[in-house]
Amino acid sequence: MTTQEMQAAFEQAYGHKAEKVFFSPGRVNLIGEHTDYNGGCVFPCALSFGAWLLIAKNEDNVLRFRSLNMPQVYEIAIDAIAPQPDRAWCNYSLGCIEIIARRHPEAKLESGYDLMYYGNVPAGAGLSSSAAMEVVTARAFTEEMAVSDRGGYPCGYTDEKAYRTELALIGQACEHEYAGVMCGIMDQFASAQGKKDHAIYLNCDTMEFEHVPVKLEGIKVVITNTHSPHHLDSGAYNDRVRQCKTAVEQISKVKPIKCLAELTPEDWKEVEGAITDPIAKKRARHVVGEVARTAAAVEALKKGEIAYFGELMTASHVSLRDDYEVTGKELDTLAEAAWQVEGVLGSRMTGGGFGGCTVSLVKDEAIEEFKAFVGKEYEEKTGLKADFYVAEIGDGVMRLA
């Protein structure tokens, strides 16, 4: 859908034109899975698809929410902002608006607004459709509620990177409080800080990061959707968090640590015997290895060693399958089929797991064969049809008009 078509839909719905248009991308994590809440680094990039928000002020002191993706329509008074029941999709917006006012007392919602969203991130695919919606809302309403004349950034920020980090933090707080998902910062951070043709090497604890150029000559990043929706807030995800905590507690009896990411592979050989819980040991082994793989993958990319980068992606999936056990039949079928295609450098699950997508590095000349073979294998073994997206790495959140 074009911006012009969105503008026409807005005018048809509300009877007047949108005043501003914003966009925020989804993301894919190239490597570094389940490391974020263990003190490690991740390596996501923003995508060229995401969430659009069109807004205009109204004189009725209400927030009107419409989406071109969902049928539900909401109308909420600006002095009665609170989480709505039945997991209402507008909670992702309401949360950001309320959190902006809380974090920045000078920010005021002095008018009602008509809002319309459109997204082309596949819902439930683990590509951060919710984070894109949160960050685009945070971008729009920090501007509307707290315009600053000190450097051009809302909320008093004079530094673009600091402002974009604040957008990510607003989105994360919304996810915690209004959606009930205790996520890390990666998704919102990638949506806010993304840079075209770069991935983000991010320490989720300190939020220190580096934009690393992604130079893939003759190679594409291909995302494959299982259409088996992931459930980030599932009990299985929370179990992994608890099991990693158990590993830290038991290791600390022989080597004081605060998080698993402090351990090198050499350290691991010395301390793994301290973990008496066999499940916790498997989870910790994945985290220690994944932290090391992620660092190695970033260096490989900087050196142009793309084949080695792909090997590390594949090793990441194997570890997520065998030690962290978050892949499942659908993701394993996709990855294992991809590994059989000549011209595939590496393939792995991406996101929290339990469904969602794989990400693969595929040579240009092998893309059609990749789609045909992987699609056929997947449908025969699961009864589901996969979708394929040849990804472009795009910029972070922005105002378009």
Task: Tell me the whole-structure pTM to 2 decimals.
Answer: 0.92
Question: Exposed (0-12), middle (13-18) or buried (19+): which is 365, by Cβ within 10 Å?
Answer: exposed
Are 130 and 176 in contact, with CB atoms under 8 Å apart? Answer: no
CATH number (3.30.10.20, 3.30.750.24, 3.30.230.10, 3.40.50.360) of 3-213+395-399 reads 3.30.230.10
State the catalytic residue, choosing from 187, 364, 387, 395.
Answer: 187
Active site residue 60: no
Domain residue limits, the chain: 3-213+395-399
The mean pLDDT value for 48-55 works out to 96
Handedness of CA 323, 324, 330, 333 (dihedral sign): negative
Q: Cα–Cα distance between 342 and 161 in angstroms, integer? A: 41
Are 28 and 200 in contact, with CB atoms under 8 Å apart? Answer: no
pLDDT digits (tens, 9 = 90+) for 273-308: 999 999 999 999 999 999 999 999 999 999 999 999
Confidence check: pLDDT of 150 > 60: no
Q: Which of 181, 179, 205 is nearest to 95 (CA)?
A: 179
Confidence check: pLDDT of 42 > 60: yes
Question: In this predicted structure, what is the pLDDT of residue 147?
Answer: 57
Phi, psi angle pair for 86, to nearest 5°: 60, 35
pLDDT digits (tens, 9 = 90+) for 346-363: 999 998 888 889 999 999
- Name the band, by pLDDT with cuts 50, 70 and 90, for residue 124: low
Average pLDDT, the chain: 93
pLDDT digits (tens, 9 = 90+) for 203-257: 988 999 999 999 999 999 999 999 986 555 557 878 998 999 999 999 999 999 9
In DSSP terms, 27 is beta-bridged to 46
- Name the band, by pLDDT with cuts 50, 70 and 90, for residue 183: confident
Q: For tokens 């969902």, name the residue.
A: 70
Radius of gyration of the chain (CA): 22
Angle (nearest 5°) at CA 35 between 29 and 36: 80
